[in-house]
């Protein structure tokens, strides 16, 4: 879900400084878990990892997707498939800046619990169906561009997740307390919800 802002300026408001600060806020201790780690050195200093599961498909994802300044293409493919529109079984290239925001927020919350993925990519058909059932689904949702995700955790409240994502100063963050999830996207910096 997003606020329905349909036009994106060239300057999306995605601030590298805010995101890098969030990544620097905690020590990196994870070693690559992706198959064969593509020849990368174990224990490399700058690693980004995302861990999620889907209650809809029963699938799990635990992947190092960025090492020493480079996104790992094979890991990105895993992310794209995992975050596909499960209703239509269609995937897109997820904007990895959204994954960066989710990963940075996760580090700030200091937990090993994976996110529960509620929504990643949405086809226009799925978005229209969801929009017909809720006025809170934007017509031009960033989910349809692979630039948004809706996440939940058992060990952290919606408010805690919201504050962690907002602290990244990178993209949009929506708090949906009644539905128990947080929206994160790599659009312009903004926040909403209750």
On whether the CB atoms of residues 28 and 107 are closer than 8 A, the answer is: no
What gap in Å lies between CA 194 and CA 173, rounded to an integer? 11
- Of 5-19, 22-36, 87-101, minimum mean pLDDT range: 22-36
The verdict on residue 7 lying in a domain is no
- Write the pLDDT tens digit of every residue in 16-47: 565 555 555 433 333 332 222 322 333 445 89
Give the whole-angstrom CA distance, residue 185 versus residue 171.
Answer: 5
Q: What is the DSSP letter of 97?
A: H
Query: Residue 170's domain spans which residues?
Result: 16-193
- Determine whether 43 is exposed, middle or buried from the number of CB atoms within 10 Å of its CB (0-12, 13-18, 19+): exposed
Please tell me the total count of domains within the chain.
1
Q: Calculate mean pLDDT across residues 120-128.
A: 94
Write the pLDDT tens digit of every residue in 164-182: 999 999 999 999 999 999 9
Taking residues 110-136, report their average pLDDT: 92
Predicted pLDDT at 136? 79
Give pLDDT, residue 68: 86
CATH of residue 62's domain is 3.30.1380.10
The answer to whether residue 11 is domain-embedded is no
Domain assignment present for residue 126? The answer is: yes
Q: Is residue 151 part of a domain?
A: yes
Task: Tell whether 132 is covered by a domain.
Answer: yes
> Given pLDDT bands bounded at 50, 70 and 90, which one contains residue 59?
very high
Q: What's the rounded Cα separation, in Å, for the pair 112 and 106?
A: 9
Rounded Cα–Cα distance for residues 49 and 31 (Å): 9
Give the whole-angstrom CA distance, residue 151 versus residue 114: 10
- Measured CA to CA in angstroms, residue 162 lies from 10, 111, 170, 177, 180 at distances of 25, 15, 13, 10, 11
């Amino acid at each position: 879900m997003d606020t329905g802002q349909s036009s994106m300026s060239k300057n999306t408001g995605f601030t590298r400084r805010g995101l890098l600060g969030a990544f620097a806020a905690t020590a990196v201790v994870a070693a690559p878990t992706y198959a064969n780690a593509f020849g990368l050195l174990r224990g490399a200093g700058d690693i980004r990892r995302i861990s999620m599961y889907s209650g809809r498909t029963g699938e799990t994802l635990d992947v190092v997707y960025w090492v020493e300044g480079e996104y790992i293409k094979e890991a990105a493919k895993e992310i794209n498939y995992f975050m596909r529109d499960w209703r239509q079984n269609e995937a897109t290239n997820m904007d990895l800046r959204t994954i960066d925001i989710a990963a940075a927020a996760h580090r700030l919350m200091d937990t090993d619990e994976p996110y529960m993925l509620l929504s990643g990519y949405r086809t226009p058909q799925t978005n229209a169906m969801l929009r017909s059932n809720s006025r809170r689904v934007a017509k031009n949702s960033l989910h349809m561009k692979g630039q948004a995700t809706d996440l939940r955790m058992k060990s952290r409240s919606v408010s805690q997740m919201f504050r962690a994502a907002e602290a990244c100063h990178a993209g949009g963050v929506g708090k949906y307390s009644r539905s128990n999830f947080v929206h994160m996207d790599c659009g312009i910096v903004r926040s909403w919800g209750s």
